[in-house]
Structure 1
Amino acid sequence: MTEAELYTLYKGVYLPTVLHTAENLKYYEDFTFRPDDILIATYPKSGTTWMQEIVPLIMSGGDPASVETLPNWDRVPWLEENRAHILNLEERPSPRMLTTHYSFGMMPPSFSEVKPKVIYVTRNPKDVFTSAFHYYDITTFLVKPGLQSEFLRKFLDGEVIFGSWFDHVKSWLNAEDKKNIMYISYEELIMDLKDSVARIAKFLEKSLEAEVVEKIAERCLFKNMKQNKMSNYSLVPAEFMDQAKSEFLRKGIAGDWKNQLTEAEAEHFDAVYKDQMKDVTYKFIWDY
């Protein structure tokens, strides 16, 4: 099926229609943030599920029930997706934990008014592309990737869900007020998960004993999180996501793009990256 059949064009970017009804997009636009809300913001395939495991464990003081009793899409729901308006988020006690794939410029008015805490997670875009290539292939609500060369063109041109990776990342890096935003990368989580958990806890002003931090980090190792049925998307019916083809939580590594992209594709990607990010001063771990 095509983009016209499966996607809604909203504020210039594609959204999968089945997950983003007009009713819920309106709900999002009218959503009232609280100052103590915690928002996980990501471009898709950048570590969202991982952060939806880490943050509830931090806020609960390491209580495993925080990630074992609700699927991640209900425990830290996407505000722009259909379930948000039926979860009675207005009745949830503070601090609420929320998720979005939207760019900074797509945030609703109340976001700028109250300035909640935001954890913005980035990932090497070549790995984002690799993860997306496999993910698009197992879902029924996204346009099939087709030839890798064509999907790469679409990805670099922003003709994929939630638009351009470059525009998304730059929008959050250029946020007017950064004091309530924590920038962290997928690669940092891989390199030192314990330190990452400690830094996130400090940002969230949650005091944790060293042994609790260690316990959370152990729990959030990819191999352990992959076993959590509330996080591995095994609860999603096969007619929406065929994990017999490829697991949702696939490898959880950095650098898998080297197994995916040809040398010519990687060189082209690098050239586009350098052009698109030439004015960005923020230093990423993967910087070329």
Structure 2
Amino acid sequence: MAFQELTRCTLQEVEGIPLLKPMVKTWERVKAFQAFPEDLLIVTYPKAGTTWTQEIVDLILHGGDAEEVRRAPTDIRMPFLEINTAKGSHPGISQLEKMDPPRVIKSHLPIQLLPKSFWESGSKVIYVARNPKDNVVSYFHFDRMNMIQPEPGPWSGYLKKFMEGQCECFWIEYVNALCWGSWYEHVKGYWQEKDKRNILYLFFEDMKENPAREIQRIAKFLGHHLSEDILNNIVQLTTFDAMRENPMANYSSIPGNIFDRKVSDFLRKGEVGDWKNHLSPEENAAFEKHYVETMSDCEIPFRFVI
């Protein structure tokens, strides 16, 4: 399909989770994906620090060698397992099926949809969670600029959709939902399994507050020792400003009719607390009430400011 024919995708249900409709076409291949013990999965809810974590991991695995990590764009180095836009690009599963382990793999799938081979093989999994107020703001701007994602609509409606997981279903096609489902169920799912499986659970806010500490945690999880010099180099190479200027990490290779940069950059702010610029006092009060009620069964230590 020619790029000029791009239209926003609709959502379709896969085992109760709304995904981009083209993903459904390759879902059976994703579900049957064979992971190996040497593979590493980086998984997040969308816009929770995925690209940042991918860059940190690649630098750790290559000893902080910036040139080696600039060998290709992020989505080539670490393919996106379930992505399929049917818009002139290759599905992530097709890339991964051609690669030998060890592979670094990206996903946004909730835990119940992950291929069982990740658990059966003992693959390591890094999960990154971001506080929901900043997460919804970032996701909103991403959906505005990504011409493949469903139309986000106005902010007030988007926030309500995020909070309540509202969806209006016509047969099996969703017209008012968020791709990859509920943030609440996503973060809870991995949190509840983190001590039973090979999962390192990280927080975006901790990474912003003390990147050196969190990079060392990731390195230890991967079985790597970082000297002070290499650690400091990785910290500098993965600052927001450095990544925003790095053509191999900022998704500038994605055509402008897919990522409309007049609306927003892919790497927009990367801050903790930007939600204060978006949620009105009334919206914030309603969000707080809903958050406390919805998270009452799972105490995850999210921070909304640092």
- Bin for the TM-score computed over the shorter chain: over 0.9
CA contact (8 A) 1:42 1:120 kept: yes
In structure 2, the partner of 1:117 is 124
Q: How does 1:105-254 map to 2 (within 5 A)?
A: 105-158=112-165, 159-175=177-193, 177-254=195-272
- 1:251-276 Cα distance to aligned partner (Å, 9 max, x none): 11100000011111111111111111
Residue aligned with 1:203, SS = helix
Q: Which amino acid is 2:70 matched to? A: E
Residue aligned with 2:291, SS = helix
CA contact (8 A) 2:119 2:197 kept: no
CA contact (8 A) 2:194 2:201 kept: no
State how far apart, in whole Å, the 2-side matches of 1:147 and 1:91 are.
41
| Offset at residue 210 of structure 1 (A) | 1.3
Q: How does 1:71-82 map to 2 (within 5 A)?
A: 71-82=73-84
Residue 256 of structure 1, aligned match among 271, 274, 290:
274
| Offset at residue 208 of structure 1 (A) | 1.7
State how far apart, in whole Å, the 2-side matches of 1:269 and 1:12 are.
24
Q: Which amino acid is 1:271 matched to? A: K
Residue aligned with 2:257, SS = coil
State how far apart, in whole Å, the 2-side matches of 1:93 and 1:63 are.
21
State how far apart, in whole Å, the 1-side matches of 2:142 and 2:9 are.
19
Number of corresponding residues: 281
Residue 269 of structure 1, aligned match among 287, 294, 306:
287
Residue aligned with 1:108, SS = coil
Residue 10 of structure 1, aligned match among 14, 31, 39:
14
Structure 2 alignment gaps of length 5 or more: 1-7, 85-90, 166-176
- 1:181-224 Cα distance to aligned partner (Å, 9 max, x none): 11111111111111111111011111221110110111000000
CA contact (8 A) 2:62 2:69 kept: no
State how far apart, in whole Å, the 2-side matches of 1:249 and 1:109 are.
32
CA contact (8 A) 1:56 1:66 kept: no
State how far apart, in whole Å, the 1-side matches of 2:147 and 2:139 are.
14
1:185–1:216 distance in 2 versus 1, CA, 3 Å: same
In structure 2, the partner of 1:87 is 95
Q: Which amino acid is 2:216 matched to? A: A
Give the TM-score of the pair, scaled to structure 1.
0.92
| Offset at residue 21 of structure 1 (A) | 4.8
Question: Structure 1 vs Structure 2: percent identity of aligned residues?
Answer: 37
In structure 2, the partner of 1:40 is 42
1:176–1:245 distance in 2 versus 1, CA, 3 Å: closer
Residue 63 of structure 1, aligned match among 62, 65, 81:
65
State how far apart, in whole Å, the 1-side matches of 2:303 and 2:263 are.
31
State how far apart, in whole Å, the 1-side matches of 2:18 and 2:114 are.
16
CA contact (8 A) 1:7 1:15 kept: yes
State how far apart, in whole Å, the 1-side matches of 2:105 and 2:96 are.
13
State how far apart, in whole Å, the 1-side matches of 2:240 and 2:215 are.
14
- 1:99-138 Cα distance to aligned partner (Å, 9 max, x none): 1101111111212212211111000100011011111111
- 1:231-287 Cα distance to aligned partner (Å, 9 max, x none): 111111111110122111011110000001111111111111111110113323349
TM-align CA RMSD? 1.8
| Offset at residue 89 of structure 1 (A) | 4.1
CA contact (8 A) 2:14 2:24 kept: no
State how far apart, in whole Å, the 2-side matches of 1:219 and 1:47 are.
15
Q: Which amino acid is 2:233 matched to? A: K
Q: Which amino acid is 2:129 matched to? A: T
In structure 1, the partner of 2:172 is none
CA contact (8 A) 1:38 1:118 kept: yes
CA contact (8 A) 1:54 1:220 kept: yes
Q: Which amino acid is 1:22 matched to? A: K
Structure 1 alignment gaps of length 5 or more: none
| Offset at residue 176 of structure 1 (A) | 6.9
